[in-house]
Chains A and B, each alone.
Chain A
Amino acid sequence: MDGGEERRKRAVGRLCSICHEKKAALKRPKTLDQICRECFYAVFEEEIHKVIVENNLFKPGERIAIGASGGKDSTVLAYVLSKLNQEHNYGLDLFLLSVDEGITGYRDDSLETVKRNEIQYGLPLKIVSYKELYGWTMDEIVKAIGLKNNCTFCGVFRRQALDRGAALLRTDKLVTGHNADDIAETVLLNILRGDIARLGRCTQITTGEDGPIPRCKPFKYTYEKEILDYFSTECIYSPNAYRGFAREFIKDLEQIRPRAILDIIRSGENFRISSSTKMPEQGTCERCGYISSQKFLDVVNDKVVKVGKDFMNKSRAVIKWCKACVLLDGLNRGLPKFGIRRTKDSQKVGEHRVSNSETTVANFESKQCGNLDF
């Protein structure tokens, strides 16, 4: 860009830097280019098409469930995917999949949006509710356990609910509307938490390929700011300040250097994660049959134990339950904290050990026995 051209532009009132015909209507957040609205739409869709093609996200004839929350990301995703599917002949069967947590006033609006999308884009919609899957709505859970760990329940249940809904629709893949900001934020949060296994996984565009229903994120490189068409309502139950921290940081970074978001994702992709890092193994829940690579909990006599920590476990059968089942079981038995505060329990065991020498001995032995896996 030499000075002359720039001066000319200013005189005309800035032309679109792509078509050089129309007046620039917006500054593209990702590149700070001045472009017109038509070119922006074209570039936006083109980029997503490129991501889909380059990463071989879909195969012709596949049934794809779009995780639709009713928020801006998933609405744009549904629209763009159905448009690209027609334009580029992907040959996909697209479905909308929504989860009804049963939060009064929160999902009602967004479910309405999803229902509107169903009609607008002509995509079949399936809504799975917590009530029908688990017998509890979020409102009832909050009533039972208060506002402290509610997000744990909601997250664990939603993750499974999407998988179950996708299975009900007999889809091959599940796409979610996670955008570049979300992924950059997840990279930072995993660094802050020290979660190396997730740090390695979170930048992958497709996850769970070994599982029954892989998930992919076609918006991996799409900036949140660019997902223009938005109408979101904040969740009334999640004032999660910590997530806000990192999010704010990313917004500040974006302001100084728009490419920082992509840089964070690139860093995440390039991290030299050693092959010896323990990655979660896939398993099947022995209560509900859910297959997942999520962590399974060991349950002995209806109690969650940590194998190798509890010295009683050698005499009893250990059953593997998925987290949702453990939480649900706790809820149904009226023990809402069940399965959540494991770390604190094990600390208590530690204190107990010091004060009672007999337990110390028993515990010490059980460490060895636990490893032998009786």
Chain B
Amino acid sequence: MKRISYETSTETLAAPFLERDGMMIDDGHRQNPRLPTVSSGDRQLDAEFRRSTTANSGDTVPFVVSAGVHHRGVLFTCEAEPIKSFGSSEKEEGRHEGKEMASCGGGGGGGCGSGCLRDGEEAADDVKGEEVGGVRGRRPPADRDPVLCSKCGEHAAFYGNLCGGCFRFSLFGKFKLAVTSKAMISPTDKVLVALSGGPASRVALQFVHEMQFKAQKSWDASKDQSLPVFGVGVAFIDETMFLRPSKEVEEAVEEIRCSVSQLAPPAKVLHIATIGSIFSADPEGGTASLNEVLEAVSDATGKEDLLHHLRVLCLQKIALDNGYSKLVLGSCTTTIARKVLSATVKGQGYSLPADIQYVDARWAVPVVLPLRDCLAEELTVLCHLDGLKIHRVLDQPHVGINNLVSSFVTRVQDDNPSRARTIVRTAEKLRPFHFNKVTENLSYEMLPSRVRRKLQSERNAEATPSEVLCSICGGPLSNSDIASLKASISNSTRHQVFAAQCCQSCCFQILPKEEASLEHFYSLMPPAMTGRVKDVTTCDYNHLRGRVGAASVTTIVQHINDANVIS
């Protein structure tokens, strides 16, 4: 009998789970390990969710949900659902020679969280002491596969000492922790997931979908139906014009369309747009001007970066046009490690912390990165495990500096697999900006009081002074950049002001050096980008020039923020 079990990994669990679920382990459960006990609504949901995921992964094994916890040699197994074959269960439980073990009934899910926590050490030790002589004495049969999952110890290890189920659960745990602890998705949100065809964004979509599915279940089950279910949409930026047109590319786009439509219920809208759409509504004209803009950039790295910034604007446009309130990107640890190094190498050390946080609310629609703690490799493995289709044909290779940085990250990653995490953790210690946290503007009447209270505390967070953002990359300008902006603010032409408001890095690698081509370049820029500086040109220069300090900066920022709404 095949069993699927789900796990939470030791490092990803949050303290709040401990408080709520720490009481799971009690003697009553342990005495009757096979008694399915569901002690709270939450846990029931978890269990239901697991069943749904079991079904999703295409596995038709019976609904046996088990969650084991391995903590410093102590192992708990939580089982729900009656087990038909006594023999198999005994084998599975007795597999851990030399490990104390406690089994308890319950929905699994949150329950296993308690033991996984480092903070839960004491509890684990206590239970261990009582448990001696319980299930511990059973001996494993001799015909066991030696490499077993280090969490549940029941299935063969699949990736990084974890079996498929435990591995999947640990990844979902990281995602869920990021979403809940950073308040990324609230019930009233409408979430747009950016899908690129790569593994990270595919997993992001899958996880968001599962979360929505779970929320829908809970909504259906609840009496008052007070908490609404958040909406999910998918955006796919069609960049196939940069690829050699082939049958595979067309098929890939069609498969993406297909996979999104299969995710229902609740149904998800797929928005497909080209980057050209931010230049003009006419697709031909948009593509033409996009190409013209890219032609104007001589540096290969600059071209790639500009394309990235335009892509971000395009996603914002889709989100804004369709009334989404959050934009989910699949940026994973590896991507962010690359971003950290490439920003450092490009001299963007000041603005670097803005781009790597879980939440980036400097845009009209806040951007969230729930997969920030997952490695690219893990996500790829999960895609294989769950049969999620990855479309490598849509990949565009990195060039120039970005290419060097990616191969460097791959190299240090080979040297030490945790290196990408270290890089991200280092950058995490840099001071983030004020916009790197969620600011909600919800209608509070819709929400139940407990949610309302939480949001209010966030809202009362102190207001910090604003930053001037680079007109191309949107990165906050460093003090020296602002000083040069102030020096040149008297320039009368718009393109000069536009150029003055670029960070040094964008100035070097994107802006054309000569005046004439700069003017041409500016004329090609989409309104969404030039709009950021539009109001600076019309506002009072004397005021800006006169007061060199925070006040003038704030004024510029207000104007920029007003203009920042993407048309």
Contact = CB atoms under 8 A, between A and B. Distances in A.
B412 A191 contact: no
A262 B505 CA distance: 12
DSSP majority for the A interface?
A: helix
Nearest to A195: B426
A171 to B, nearest CB: 33
B426 A191 contact: yes
Interface in A190-233: 190-196, 199
Contacts of B419: 192
Contacts of B350: 267, 270-272
Contacts of B422: 192-194
B344 A188 contact: yes
Interface in A256-289: 256-257, 259-260, 262-264, 266-274, 277
Contacts of B341: 188, 191
A277 B431 CA distance: 10
A360 interface: yes
B423 A271 contact: no
Contacts of B412: 192, 245
A273 B508 CA distance: 25
Nearest to A364: B122
A271 B404 CA distance: 22
- Among A190, A192, A274, A357, the most chain B Cβ lie within 10 Å of the Cβ of A192
A252 interface: yes
- Among B349, B401, B505, the most chain A Cβ lie within 10 Å of the Cβ of B349
A96 interface: no
Contacts of A252: 404
B347 A264 contact: yes
Interface in A106-128: none
A262 B349 CA distance: 12
A253 interface: yes
A196 B430 CA distance: 8
Interface string A143-157: 000000000000000
B415 to A, nearest CB: 7
A272 B430 contact: yes
Contacts of A260: 345-346, 401
Contact of B345 (A195, A199, A253, A357): A253
A242 interface: yes
Given A193-B422, A245-B411, A257 B401 contact: yes
B505 A263 contact: yes
A242 B346 contact: no
Contacts of A354: 72-73
A192 B418 CA distance: 10
Interface in B405-452: 408, 411-412, 415, 419, 422-423, 425-427, 429-431
B245 interface: no
A30 B352 CA distance: 25
A41 interface: no
B400 interface: yes
A196 B404 contact: no
B129 interface: yes
Interface in B316-348: 340-341, 343-348
Contacts of A272: 350, 353, 430-431
Contact of B401 (A194, A256, A267, A269): A256
Contacts of A192: 412, 419, 422-423, 426
A187 interface: yes
A273 B425 CA distance: 13
Contacts of A267: 343-350, 352
Contacts of A263: 344-347, 505
Given A191-B340, A264-B347, A357 B401 contact: no
Contacts, number: 97
A256 B404 contact: yes
Nearest to A266: B347
Contact of A273 (B348, B401, B431, B505): B431
Nearest to B479: A270
A249 interface: yes
A320 B508 CA distance: 50
Contacts of A266: 347, 349, 504
Nearest to B404: A252
A126 B433 CA distance: 50
Given A256-B400, A256-B401, A270-B478, A264 B426 contact: no
A267 B505 CA distance: 10
Given A270-B349, A270-B350, A357-B125, A264 B430 contact: no
- Among B419, B427, B429, B508, the most chain A Cβ lie within 10 Å of the Cβ of B429
B37 interface: no
Nearest to B476: A272
A85 to B, nearest CB: 30
A270 B419 CA distance: 23
B240 interface: no
A125 B408 CA distance: 42
A289 B126 CA distance: 48
- Among A191, A252, A267, the most chain B Cβ lie within 10 Å of the Cβ of A267
Contacts of A191: 340-341, 344, 423, 426-427
- Among A249, A272, A273, the most chain B Cβ lie within 10 Å of the Cβ of A272
A242 B422 CA distance: 15
Contacts of A277: 429
Nearest to B344: A267
A368 to B, nearest CB: 14
Contacts of B348: 267
A191 B411 CA distance: 15
B347 A273 contact: no
Nearest to A193: B422
- Among B419, B422, B426, B504, the most chain A Cβ lie within 10 Å of the Cβ of B426
Interface in A315-348: none
A271 B352 contact: yes
Nearest to B349: A267
A188 B349 CA distance: 12
B13 to A, nearest CB: 19
A195 B349 CA distance: 16
Contacts of B345: 253, 260, 263-264, 267
B53 interface: no
B508 A196 contact: no
B301 interface: yes
A190 B353 contact: no
B429 A273 contact: yes
Contacts of B346: 260, 263, 267
Nearest to A260: B345
27 contacts: A188-B341, A191-B423, A192-B419, A193-B426, A194-B423, A194-B426, A195-B426, A199-B426, A245-B408, A253-B345, A256-B301, A259-B347, A259-B508, A264-B344, A264-B345, A266-B504, A267-B347, A269-B349, A270-B478, A271-B349, A271-B350, A271-B352, A272-B353, A272-B430, A273-B429, A277-B429, A357-B129
Interface of B: 72-73, 125, 129, 301, 340-341, 343-350, 352-353, 400-401, 404, 408, 411-412, 415, 419, 422-423, 425-427, 429-431, 478, 504-505, 508
Interface of A: 187-188, 190-196, 199, 242, 245, 249, 252-253, 256-257, 259-260, 262-264, 266-274, 277, 354, 357, 360
Given A268-B344, A354-B73, 6 more contacts: A196-B429, A249-B408, A260-B401, A263-B505, A267-B345, A277-B429
